[in-house]
C-alpha cells in the first residue's frame, strides 16, 4: 500500500532521470535485420544498488510519449523503466507487423538484452534482467507474446488487450470460426487508419496504462517532462527521416498485413490465410508457454476487446499452473481509464503485482479476481465513482451464480437494408459506452429493422457480471441472416440503456423460410458488469444492421422469434444472467488516508456519555413491539402537534412507509411537513398520536433509532474537523461497532473525493449537504428520513441523488423524503403523501395521484420542423413550450419511432421524457390555501 502512495508522484519532485536514445536492434525472421527504435530510459535518483526494471509498451498508434506519465510513476516506485516507440510508429523505423513474433516481439527481446547489460539494473543471471512487462491494448498483447517467447520475463501486466485478433475483428457469437463471422469494420478501420499516417487512432484511446496520460502521441519531445531529443518532431504514424511510406494505401503497414486488411474490408469476410496471419500475432498461440505471473486488467466498456478476451487469456495461462489474477474495471477502449477511484484501484493492483513478483516485496496478492462497477457520483469533480469487490476464485464469464429472466413477444419480420444503409447505431469506436449513455438507447435501433422481446419487471435487483445468453430463432428466404443481438436495461420511466454499447453479431446459415420450422440458436452476448434495479425490465433486441459491422448488401426480410421450435404466436425464452457476489474492498482513499487524532477521541467520549444518559432517562418509556407493525418501517397514527400559543402545526396526520418504497412528503409552506419530520425524529414531542418504527414507539433514546438515518433541518458539523473525522465522531456516538458503519459505501455516496479530508468550515453548501447525506446513510439504516436532500445541489448532483434514493430503497429498505421539487419527487418516489393545513389531502402511489399521461416532453433543435414531422406521424397534439421544447400527446406512437423520424429529418433531439404532471395534481389538491408562513 505504501508503494501506491508513491505512484502519485508530483512532477516537481522528479525523483528520476530520463534519457532518450536511438537503439538499433537486429530482428526479423533471420534475427539479423536492423531496425532503429526511439527509446527513453528512466532511472530512480534514490537507489541503493541495482534496481529491478519495467519494460513499458504503448498502445497502437501511440509512442513512448503516450506512456510517459506511467513511466514516471513507476520510476518513482523505484524501477528502472524502458519505454520505446514500436516499429512503424513515430520516429522508430521499420514497418508495422502487428506484434509479429519475428519483428515486434523480437525487438522487445533485444530490449531485454539491453536492460541486462545496464549496470543499474538488477539481474537474475548473466543476460537475464529482473523485469516486469506492462502494456495496454497493442502493448498488452506484446507483453503476453514476449512472456511466451522469452522466459526471462518475471511478471506481466497486460491491459485491455486481445486473445485472438482474428476473432476480435471478425467475431461470431455462436462459436463459429472467424471465416464465418461478421467483420467489425468500424474498429478495423480505426485500427488500420492509425497506421497509415493518421494521428491518434488507438493511441488516443489506449496510450496510457494505469490511469495516467491516455492521449496519443503529440509532437515528440515537446510534452512537459520529456527528456532530450526535442528536434525533428513528427506526429504519430509518420515515418522517421529517410524512411519511405511505400504504397500510400498501406502506409507503414507491412505488405502482408495490409493485403489482409484490404481483402477483409472489401469482401467483409476474412480468408483462411488472413485468419492465420492475425493469429500469429495473437497471445492464444503462446499461452501454454507463459510462466511469468500474470495480472490481466480488462475493461467493461470495450467494444473492441471485451471481457471475454481476458477470460480466454486467463484460462489458457492458468491451465499450466502459472499464477494469474484477473481485474475488471469500469473503463476500456470506449470508456478510457474509468473514474478516478477505479484508476487508483488499477494503479494499486499494478504496484502490488510488480512489487511482489518483480521487487520481491510484500505478500502475494490475495484472491484471483477483482472487479468494479459504477456506484455513484463525485460531487467535487462531477465524475463517477465505483465500488470494488474481490473473490478468491475467478468465476469466468459464467459468473458465480445465475438468474434467468424470461423475455417474450411474437415472431416479428425485420428488414435488412440494402448495403447496410441506413444502419442502427449502437456504438462508435472509442465512444461506444458514452454514445449509449447519451442516446439512452432511444435512437439506436431503426423502425422496421429490429424486433424487440421484453420481460416483466424484475422482482429484485440483479448484479450481472459475465456473458448473458439467450436463444433466438430466425427464418430467411435466402437461407442466411446476419443479425445483431443486444440486451437493454429498461428503467421504470421507460429509459433504455445498452451496457457499454456492446452487441453480439451472429451470422446464421441453413435457415428455413418459415419461422415455424426454425430451430433455436444460443447467442452468447458480450460480458457486462451492471446492476439491474428491481422494477426494471430486460429487452432483447434483434437488429439487421449496425454501423460498426459489415452486413449483406442485398435487401431482404428476415423473421425472428424467441422460444422453442414450434412455439405459438407469442414465444418466450429465458435470458441467462451470470451474477457476481464478492467481498467489498476499501477504496484507495480509505486505505491511504486513515487518520485518527486525539481530539476526536475526546469528542467521541463526550458524545457517548450524552447518549448513555439519554438512554438511561428514557429506558422506561420504550414500549414493547407492536406485532402488527413489526415489519413496517414507519407507521404514523393520529399525529397532532399544537403549541402553547394556540398555533396548530399538525392537525391530524396518518400514513405508512412500507419496505421498498420511496415516499415523498409534499405540501406548501406551513403545511406541517417539517414539524411532522421533527416529531418522527424525536426532536419535538407530539400533542397526540404516535409514531412507530418497525413496531416500536419512537421516543428519544429508543434502540430502534439505530435502524433509522435522518437529515432534518440541515447538516451540523464541527467546523475544525474534516468531513471524515465528523463522520467517525458521529458513528462513535451511536455506540455501535465501527465495522457496522459501512463507511466506504456511505463515502462513495457522498462523492466528495479528497474533500472528505478537508475541514468542513471550508465546505460549500452543496458539499455540506452531500456529507450530511452520507452521515444519514452510515450503517445503511433500514429507514432513511431526508428533509430537502437536494438543497444546494446542482442539476447533475440532483439527478444522481434521484438514482441513489431509488437504489437505496432496495433489499427491504425504505425512504421518506420531503421536497419542494415536484418534478424530482415524480421521478424519484414510488408513493407520495400530500399535506395541507396540517392534514393529509392525498396519499398513495405517485402514478395514482398524477393520473395517466399520454404525453412526453421533447427538447429539439428546430421546433417548426419537428412539429411538421410529428403531425405527419399522427400524434394527437403538439404544443411548443419555451425555446426548443415540445409537449407531445403521443396517441400511442412509440417513442423510438418519433425520435427516429425526427433524426432522419435532421432535427436534433436532446431529451425525451414523460410529461411530468405532479405539479398540476399538487396545485389541484392544495389550491391557493398555502399559509405562506413557513413551518414551525
Query: Cβ(141)–Cβ(280) under 8 Å?
Result: no
pLDDT, mean of residues 355-374: 88
Query: Cβ(480)–Cβ(488) under 8 Å?
Result: no
pLDDT for residue 385: 65
pLDDT for residue 630: 86
Whether residue 706 has pLDDT greater than 80: no
Domain identity same for 124 and 242: yes
CATH number of the domain bearing residue 278: 3.40.50.1820
Query: Cβ(818)–Cβ(811) under 8 Å?
Result: no
Domain identity same for 597 and 722: yes
Domain identity same for 477 and 611: no
Confidence of residue 450 (pLDDT cuts 50, 70, 90): very high
pLDDT for residue 56: 98
Quick count: other Cβ atoms within 10 Å of Cβ 609? 11
pLDDT digits (tens, 9 = 90+) for 746-799: 777 667 777 888 888 778 877 888 888 888 888 888 898 888 888 767 777 777
CATH number of the domain bearing residue 897: 3.30.70.100
pLDDT for residue 61: 87
Residue 668 forms part of a structural domain: yes
Question: Cell 424525536 sits at which residue?
Answer: 682
pLDDT for residue 750: 66
d(CA 650, CA 639): 7
Question: How does DSSP classify residue 563?
Answer: S
pLDDT, mean of residues 449-475: 96
766 vs 420, higher pLDDT: 420
Percent of the chain with pLDDT over 70: 82
Domain identity same for 207 and 166: yes
Q: Kindly calculate the radius of gyration of the chain based on its CA atoms and give it in whole angstroms.
A: 31
Cell matching residue 791: 438543497
d(CA 458, CA 908): 33
908 vs 793, higher pLDDT: 908
pLDDT for residue 685: 81
Domain boundary among 849, 880, 896: 849
d(CA 627, CA 897): 52
Domain identity same for 605 and 546: no
Residue 514 forms part of a structural domain: yes
pLDDT for residue 398: 95
789 prior amide bond cis, ω within 30: no
d(CA 9, CA 231): 28
d(CA 501, CA 932): 50
Q: Which residues pair with 574 in a beta bridge?
A: 406
Residue 512 forms part of a structural domain: yes
pLDDT, mean of residues 577-600: 58
Domain identity same for 139 and 256: yes
Residue 573 forms part of a structural domain: yes
Confidence of residue 715 (pLDDT cuts 50, 70, 90): low
Domain identity same for 839 and 857: no
Coil, helix or strand at residue 823: helix
Whether residue 170 has pLDDT greater than 80: yes
Whether residue 523 has pLDDT greater than 90: yes
Specify which of 8-17, 240-249, 325-334 reaches the highest per-range mean pLDDT: 325-334
Domain identity same for 601 and 550: no
Query: Where does residue 463 rank: exposed (0-12), middle (13-18), buried (19+ CB within 10 A)?
Result: buried
Cell matching residue 638: 393520529
Please state which of the ranges 37-41, 71-75, 558-562, 675-679 shows the lowest mean pLDDT: 675-679
pLDDT for residue 432: 44
Q: How many CA atoms lie within 13 A of 548 on its CB side?
A: 27
pLDDT digits (tens, 9 = 90+) for 256-305: 999 988 888 888 888 899 999 999 999 999 999 999 999 999 999 899 99
Percent of the chain with pLDDT over 90: 40
Per-residue CA distances from 532 to 263, 489, 579 (Å) = 41, 7, 11
pLDDT for residue 923: 66
pTM value is 0.62
Whether residue 11 has pLDDT greater than 90: no
Query: Where does residue 75 rank: exposed (0-12), middle (13-18), buried (19+ CB within 10 A)?
Result: buried
Domain span including residue 257: 2-293+303-324
pLDDT for residue 567: 76
pLDDT digits (tens, 9 = 90+) for 39-98: 999 999 888 899 999 999 999 989 999 999 999 999 999 999 999 999 999 999 999 999
Quick count: other Cβ atoms within 10 Å of Cβ 460? 13
Q: Which residues pair with 845 in a beta bridge?
A: 831
Cell matching residue 727: 463522520
| Closest C-alpha among 403, 567, 580 to residue 475 | 567
Question: How does DSSP classify residue 331?
Answer: -
| Closest C-alpha among 637, 813, 621, 791 to residue 709 | 813
Residue 600 forms part of a structural domain: yes
SS (H, E, C) 841-853: EEEEEHHHHHCCC
pLDDT, mean of residues 491-505: 87
pLDDT for residue 270: 87
pLDDT for residue 916: 55
137 vs 721, higher pLDDT: 137
pLDDT for residue 527: 96
Specify which of 489-498, 549-558, 772-781, 849-858 reaches the highest per-range mean pLDDT: 549-558
Helix (H) or strand (E) holding 766: helix 765-777
* Burial letters 366-392, b for 16+ CB under 10 A, else e: ebbbbbbbbbbbbbbeeebbbbbbbbe
pLDDT digits (tens, 9 = 90+) for 191-236: 776 655 433 333 333 334 444 433 333 333 333 333 333 222 333 3
Taking the chain, what is the end-to-end CA distance rounded to the nearest angstrom? 52
Domain identity same for 572 and 703: no
Domain identity same for 730 and 871: no
pLDDT for residue 927: 58
Whether residue 684 has pLDDT greater than 90: no
d(CA 103, CA 95): 9
Whether residue 922 has pLDDT greater than 50: yes
Domain boundary among 849, 865, 894: 849
Domain boundary among 812, 831, 849: 849
Query: Cβ(210)–Cβ(353) under 8 Å?
Result: no
Classify 480 in phi/psi space as left (phi over 0), alpha (psi -120 to 50) or beta.
beta
Confidence of residue 316 (pLDDT cuts 50, 70, 90): very high
pLDDT for residue 318: 95
DSSP strands (E only) in 346-423: 369-378, 383-391, 401-410, 412-416
Query: Cβ(835)–Cβ(666) under 8 Å?
Result: yes
Residue 337 forms part of a structural domain: no
DSSP strands (E only) in 128-269: 128-129, 131-136, 155-159
CATH number of the domain bearing residue 537: 2.60.120.260
pLDDT digits (tens, 9 = 90+) for 93-123: 999 999 999 999 999 999 999 999 999 999 9
| Closest C-alpha among 601, 590, 546, 277 to residue 428 | 546
Strand order in the sheet with 831-836: 696-697, 688-693, 634-642, 648-657, 839-845, 831-836, 662-666, 814-818, 783-787, 708-711
Please state which of the ranges 322-331, 724-733, 910-919 shows the lowest mean pLDDT: 910-919
Cell matching residue 362: 510484500
Per-residue CA distances from 154 to 49, 53, 138, 337, 460 (Å) = 19, 10, 20, 26, 46
Query: Cβ(744)–Cβ(820) under 8 Å?
Result: no
Angle of helix 795-808 versus helix 765-777 axis, rounded to 10? 10
Angle of helix 723-734 versus helix 598-618 axis, rounded to 10? 30
810 vs 84, higher pLDDT: 84
pLDDT, mean of residues 869-878: 85
Residue 382 forms part of a structural domain: no
Confidence of residue 854 (pLDDT cuts 50, 70, 90): low
pLDDT for residue 674: 81
Domain identity same for 764 and 877: no
Number of domains in the chain: 4
pLDDT, mean of residues 455-483: 96
Query: Cβ(195)–Cβ(207) under 8 Å?
Result: no
d(CA 636, CA 648): 17
The number of angstroms, rounded, from the C-alpha of 439 to the middle of its chain's C-alpha atoms is 16
Per-residue CA distances from 390 to 366, 367, 371, 393, 582 (Å) = 9, 7, 7, 9, 5
DSSP string, 75-100: HHTT-EEEEEEPTTSTT--S-B-SS-
Residue 422 forms part of a structural domain: yes
pLDDT for residue 196: 52
pLDDT for residue 381: 45
Question: Cell 413550450 sits at which residue?
Answer: 881
Per-chain mean pLDDT for the chain: 81
Domain identity same for 753 and 701: yes
Query: Cβ(426)–Cβ(501) under 8 Å?
Result: yes
Q: Which residues pair with 839 in a beta bridge?
A: 652, 836
pLDDT for residue 540: 96
d(CA 277, CA 281): 7
SS (H, E, C) 909-927: EEEEEECCCHHHHHHHHHC
Amino acid at each position: 500500500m505504501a508503494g501506491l502512495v508513491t505512484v502519485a508522484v508530483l512532477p516537481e519532485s522528479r525523483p528520476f532521470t530520463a534519457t532518450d536514445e536511438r537503439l538499433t536492434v537486429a530482428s526479423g525472421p533471420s534475427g539479423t535485420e536492423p531496425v532503429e527504435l526511439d527509446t527513453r530510459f528512466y532511472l530512480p535518483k534514490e537507489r541503493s544498488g541495482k534496481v529491478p526494471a519495467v519494460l513499458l509498451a504503448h498502445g497502437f498508434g501511440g509512442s513512448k510519449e503516450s506512456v510517459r506519465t506511467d513511466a514516471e510513476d513507476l520510476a518513482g516506485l523505484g524501477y528502472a523503466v524502458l519505454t520505446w516507440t514500436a516499429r512503424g510508429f513515430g520516429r522508430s523505423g521499420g514497418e508495422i507487423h502487428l506484434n509479429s513474433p519475428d519483428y515486434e516481439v523480437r525487438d522487445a527481446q533485444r530490449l531485454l538484452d539491453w536492460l541486462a547489460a545496464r549496470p543499474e539494473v538488477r539481474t537474475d543471471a548473466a543476460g537475464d534482467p529482473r523485469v516486469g512487462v506492462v502494456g495496454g491494448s497493442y502493448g498488452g498483447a506484446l507483453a503476453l507474446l514476449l512472456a511466451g517467447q522469452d522466459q526471462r520475463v518475471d511478471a506481466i501486466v497486460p491491459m485491455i488487450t486481445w486473445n485472438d485478433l482474428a476473432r476480435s475483428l471478425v467475431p461470431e457469437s455462436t462459436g463459429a470460426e472467424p471465416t464465418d463471422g461478421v467483420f467489425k469494420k468500424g474498429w478495423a478501420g480505426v485500427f488500420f487508419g492509425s497506421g497509415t499516417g493518421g494521428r491518434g487512432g488507438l493511441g488516443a484511446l489506449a496510450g496510457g496504462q494505469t490511469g495516467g496520460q491516455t492521449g496519443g502521441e503529440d509532437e515528440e519531445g515537446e510534452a512537459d517532462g520529456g527528456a532530450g531529443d526535442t528536434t525533428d518532431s513528427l506526429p504519430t504514424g509518420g515515418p522517421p527521416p529517410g524512411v519511405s511510406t511505400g504504397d500510400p494505401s498501406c502506409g507503414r503497414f507491412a505488405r502482408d498485413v495490409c493485403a489482409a486488411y484490404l481483402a477483409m474490408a472489401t469482401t467483409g469476410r476474412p480468408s483462411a490465410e488472413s485468419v492465420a496471419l492475425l493469429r500469429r500475432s495473437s497471445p492464444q498461440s503462446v499461452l501454454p508457454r507463459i510462466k511469468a505471473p500474470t495480472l490481466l486488467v480488462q475493461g467493461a466498456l470495450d467494444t473492441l476487446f471485451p471481457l471475454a478476451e481476458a477470460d480466454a487469456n486467463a484460462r489458457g495461462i492458468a491451465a499450466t499452473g502459472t499464477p494469474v489474477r484477473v481485474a475488471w474495471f469500469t473503463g476500456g477502449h470506449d470508456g478510457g481509464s474509468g473514474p478516478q477511484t477505479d484508476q487508483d484501484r488499477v494503479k494499486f493492483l499494478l504496484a502490488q503485482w510488480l512489487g511482489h513478483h518483480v521487487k520481491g516485496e510484500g505478500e502475494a496478492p490475495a484472491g484471483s479476481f477483482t472487479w468494479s462497477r459504477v456506484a455513484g457520483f463525485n460531487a467535487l469533480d462531477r465524475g463517477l465513482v465505483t465500488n470494488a469487490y474481490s473473490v478468491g476464485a475467478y468465476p469466468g464469464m459464467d459468473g458465480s451464480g445465475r438468474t434467468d429472466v424470461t423475455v417474450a413477444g411474437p415472431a416479428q419480420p425485420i428488414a435488412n437494408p440494402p448495403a447496410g444503409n441506413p444502419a442502427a447505431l449502437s456504438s462508435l469506436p472509442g465512444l461506444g459506452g458514452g454514445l449509449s449513455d447519451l442516446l439512452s438507447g432511444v435512437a439506436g435501433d431503426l423502425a422496421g429493422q429490429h424486433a424487440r422481446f421484453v420481460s416483466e419487471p424484475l422482482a429484485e435487483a440483479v448484479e450481472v457480471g459475465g456473458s448473458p445468453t439467450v436463444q433466438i430463432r430466425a427464418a430467411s428466404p435466402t437461407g442466411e441472416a446476419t443479425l445483431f443481438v443486444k440486451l437493454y436495461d429498461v428503467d421504470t420511466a421507460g429509459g433504455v440503456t445498452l451496457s457499454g454499447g456492446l452487441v453480439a453479431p451472429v451470422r446464421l446459415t441453413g435457415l428455413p423460410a418459415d419461422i415455424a420450422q426454425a430451430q433455436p440458436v444460443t447467442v452468447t452476448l458480450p460480458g457486462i458488469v451492471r446492476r439491474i434495479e428491481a422494477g426494471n425490465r430486460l429487452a432483447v433486441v434483434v437488429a439487421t444492421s449496425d454501423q460498426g459491422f459489415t452486413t449483406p448488401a442485398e435487401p431482404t426480410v428476415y423473421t425472428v422469434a424467441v422460444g422453442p421450435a414450434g412455439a405459438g404466436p407469442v414465444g418466450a425464452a429465458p435470458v441467462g444472467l451470470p451474477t457476481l457476489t464478492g467481498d467489498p474492498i476499501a477504496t484507495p482513499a480509505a486505505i491511504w488516508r486513515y487518520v485518527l487524532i486525539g481530539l476526536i477521541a475526546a469528542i467521541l467520549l463526550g458524545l457517548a456519555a450524552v447518549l448513555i444518559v439519554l438512554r438511561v432517562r428514557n429506558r422506561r418509556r420504550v414500549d414493547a413491539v407492536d406485532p402488527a407493525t413489526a415489519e413496517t418501517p414507519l407507521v404514523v397514527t393520529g399525529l397532532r402537534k399544537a403549541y402553547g400559543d394556540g398555533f396548530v402545526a399538525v392537525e391530524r396526520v396518518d400514513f405508512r412507509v412500507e419496505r421498498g418504497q420511496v415516499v415523498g412528503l409534499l405540501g406548501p409552506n406551513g403545511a406541517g411537513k417539517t414539524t411532522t419530520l421533527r416529531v418522527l425524529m424525536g426532536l419535538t414531542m407530539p400533542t397526540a398520536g404516535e409514531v412507530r418504527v418497525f413496531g416500536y414507539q419512537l421516543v428519544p433514546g429508543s434502540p430502534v433509532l439505530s435502524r433509522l438515518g435522518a437529515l432534518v433541518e440541515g447538516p451540523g458539523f464541527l467546523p475544525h474537523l474534516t468531513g471524515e473525522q465528523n463522520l467517525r465522531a458521529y458513528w462513535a456516538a451511536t455506540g455501535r461497532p465501527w465495522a457496522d458503519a459501512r463507511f466506504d459505501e456511505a463515502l462513495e455516496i457522498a462523492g466528495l473525493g479528497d474533500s472528505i479530508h478537508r475541514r468542513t468550515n471550508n465546505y460549500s453548501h452543496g458539499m455540506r449537504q452531500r456529507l450530511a447525506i452520507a452521515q444519514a446513510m452510515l450503517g445503511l439504516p433500514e429507514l432513511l428520513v431526508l428533509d430537502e436532500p437536494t438543497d444546494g445541489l446542482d442539476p447533475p448532483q440532483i439527478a444522481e441523488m434521484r438514482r441513489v434514493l431509488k437504489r437505496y430503497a432496495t433489499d427491504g429498505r425504505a425512504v421518506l423524503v420531503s421536497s419542494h421539487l415536484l418534478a424530482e419527487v415524480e421521478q424519484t418516489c414510488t408513493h407520495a403523501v400530500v399535506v395541507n393545513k396540517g392534514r393529509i389531502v392525498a396519499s398513495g402511489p405517485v402514478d395514482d395521484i398524477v393520473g395517466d399521461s399520454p404525453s412526453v416532453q421533447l427538447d429539439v433543435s428546430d421546433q417548426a420542423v419537428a412539429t411538421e414531422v410529428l403531425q405527419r406521424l399522427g400524434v394527437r397534439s403538439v404544443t411548443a413550450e419555451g425555446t426548443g421544447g415540445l409537449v407531445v400527446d403521443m396517441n400511442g406512437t412509440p417513442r423510438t419511432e418519433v425520435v427516429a423520424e425526427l433524426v432522419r429529418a435532421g432535427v436534433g433531439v436532446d431529451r425525451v421524457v414523460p410529461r411530468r404532471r405532479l405539479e398540476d395534481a399538487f396545485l389541484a389538491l392544495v389550491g391557493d390555501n398555502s399559509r405562506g408562513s413557513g413551518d414551525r
